[in-house]
Amino acid sequence: DKGNHRHFMLKEIYEQPIVVAQTLKSYVRRLDDQVSLPTPDFDLSAIRRVTIVACGTSYYAGMVAKYWFEQFARVPVDIDVASEFRYRQPVMEDGGLALFISQSGETADTLAALRHARSEGQKIAVVVNVPTSTMAREADLLLPTHAGPEIGVASTKAFTCQLAVLAALAANLARAKGRLDPREEKEVVRHLSEAPAAINGALAYDEAIEAMAHLIAPARDVLYLGRGTDYPLALEGALKLKEISYIHAEGYAAGEMKHGPIALIDENVPVIVIAPSGPLFDKTVSNMQEVQARGGKVVLISDYDGIQAAGDGCMATITMPKVHPLIAPIVYAIPVQLLAYHVAVLKGTDVDQPRNLAKSVTVE
Ligand code: M6R
């Protein structure tokens, strides 16, 4: 049931404040300001390396997690898409945790990668939205998202719920490694708990984004740029747009533009820049200005401070609530999803059932 929404995708975008809060309830305790996990049957503090494997949007959630695990827990992370991981003979040493992320828990490549990692002696952690799925059954450490059934082929609420679980996992790992003191843990809990309200704040820009979609819909190609955890978000934005609007889109690390892709820039290629104010803001803005100097039309997604500092000269801006960098990827996922959605509606595509795609890819 779509409720009063035109598509399942839009309904699912709007469910995010509730389902992210629901998911966080299992992983953060406001009462004693602690992050918590279901107790693994192995010692988290002994994990020496994490290997993350997934496909599509779930893979991009994994990319964000790589930044978090390395930054907070100082644990080395390897990450790959499942279809590559399976066949490249990856080296997995003892004491490794292999982490699989999947909405459905049935994606054939991810499941095969899981079984391969197990045969190589890795502990298996699974972030999955369908608790009865095959991957859920095969996990040593099951970390469910509580997004509820996701019907739209384009993944939305599963992604933000995956990020919520992965942030909590990163904090748990950091604590187990002695790298998160109680004061820092309390801060993590506080920031994560702010996510649902911030998502609500982001949803308030739906109409503005709908109006802006008219600027993107005529384009043949669209680029997305971001740095740090906003880089995977740029990739996710491009995937979402391709998948449901059939417009060609690519995501790049903002700093990579000058190594090639900037040659694509002209007034016909809109560039979506994802840049919350924070430590990497100035760097991203200078990449944005390189694009503008070549006639590129920029849409800047930032917060009030960011837009004040760098919004002049942009084709359009989207103002997000000001949030802590930890939850920025969760909150900035919303405008990225809404933009793809409204462009697709303008293009008249079948938003919930885009051509050539299935909700769950159970063949290799
Ligand atoms: O069920 P999974 O999370 O394993 O699915 C992985 C991908 O097939 C999925 O995320 C796909 O990329 C989505 N359609 C993207 O919106």
pLDDT tens sequence across 220-251: 999 999 999 999 999 999 999 999 999 999 99
pLDDT confidence of residue 70: 97
Q: Which amino acid does the sequence have at 99?
A: L
- Tell me the CA–centroid distance for residue 158 and ligand 1, in Å: 9
In 195-348, the DSSP E strands lie at: 221-226, 248-253, 270-274, 297-303, 316-320
How would DSSP label each residue in 209-245? Answer: HHHHHHHHTT-SEEEEEE-TTHHHHHHHHHHHHHHHH
- Tell me the CA–centroid distance for residue 228 and ligand 1, in Å: 22
Residue of the CA atom closest to atom 4 of ligand 1: 102
Residue of the CA atom closest to atom 16 of ligand 1: 154
pLDDT in tens, 244-270: 999 999 999 999 999 999 989 999 999
- Tell me the CA–centroid distance for residue 51 and ligand 1, in Å: 19
Of 114, 239, 361, 364, best ligand 1 pocket probe by most atoms within 8 Å of the beta carbon: 361
Active centre residues (catalytic): 359
Residues whose CB falls within 8 Å of the CB of residue 156, separated by 6 or more in sequence, listed in order: 9, 12, 13, 16, 150, 333, 337
Q: What ipTM does this complex have?
A: 0.99
CB 29 within 8 A of CB 190: no
Residue of the CA atom closest to atom 12 of ligand 1: 56
- The ligand 1 atom nearest the CA atom of 240: 16
Residue 364 pLDDT greater than 90, yes or no: no
pLDDT confidence of residue 38: 85
- Tell me the CA–centroid distance for residue 210 and ligand 1, in Å: 25
* Contact residues of ligand 1, CB 6 A cut-off: 55-58, 102-104, 107, 110, 153-155, 239, 243, 360-361
Q: What predicted TM-score, i.e. pTM, was given to this entire model?
A: 0.97
pLDDT confidence of residue 363: 83
